[in-house]
Amino acid sequence: MQAYKLKLKIDLAGNLVITKPVNLPPGDVEVIVLKTVDTIDNTTVPASEALPETPKRKSRVKAFEGLSKNVPPVPQNFDAAN
């Protein structure tokens, strides 16, 4: 099965309307509808102000005590899904 992402609208009558032409071959399709939600920015810290660095905790387990010292930082483009 192939996946396609389309922008659709629901009109006042409740019909699902494709707003742009689709270049797909004829045949059966399965539709999953995800409703978009307007997001509200609840940030109280201005974007220009840096957040304080999180203090490092000491491990209570002796076996893991120095483990985090040798771990490189996670890259910003890291994708956990892969």
pTM (two decimals): 0.38
Structure token digits, residue 24 = 């797909």
**Residue pair 58/65 in contact by the 8 Å Cβ criterion:** yes
* pLDDT recorded at residue 80: 77
* pLDDT recorded at residue 13: 94
Cα–Cα distance for residue pair 43/40, rounded to 1 Å: 9
Per-residue pLDDT of the chain (82 residues; tens, 9 = 90+): 788 888 888 899 999 898 888 888 889 988 888 888 777 766 665 666 666 666 666 667 777 677 777 777 888 888 877 6
Instruction: Please count the other Cβ atoms lying within 10 Å of the Cβ belonging to residue 18.
Output: 10
